Amino acid sequence: MASDNIMVVGLNGTLGHNLEQLYEENNIGNKKSKYFFYLSRNMVLDMTDKSRGSHIIKLHLTMEKLNKYKYNNMMEKEEWQESTKQLNALVKKGSLHT
């Protein structure tokens, strides 16, 4: 079950829920459908492929819709810089491995 909270205009439910539905509905017939099957299964969205059978086409997504989510949910610059400093400190301390 998808546990994300990514809401994109035009989708019913979260992005993860929609990818999960694609995974459940997908039939593996060729290399391309197999590719999208495994991406969906792992809750990964391929934003680069706009051909028939792709996530973008099946979910009726546009870059405008995805960017609207992205920019509505971006961290403020200062918050991002502080998070980066904290992660770097953890890496240097050895608490987090890269």
pLDDT exceeds 70 at position 76: no
**For the residues 49-66, what does the mean pLDDT come to?**
84
- Single out the residue of 43, 39, 64, 63 nearest to residue 53, CA to CA: 39
**What are the tens digits of pLDDT across the range 18-56?**
888 888 887 778 888 888 888 888 888 888 888 888 888
**For the residues 73-85, what does the mean pLDDT come to?**
65
Pairwise CA distance, residues 98 & 10, whole Å: 36
In whole angstroms, how far apart are CA 82 and each of 76, 78, 79, 85, 87? 10, 6, 5, 5, 9
**For the residues 5-16, what does the mean pLDDT come to?**
83
Please report the pLDDT score of residue 97 as a whole number.
56
- Single out the residue of 68, 54, 52, 50 nearest to residue 10, CA to CA: 68
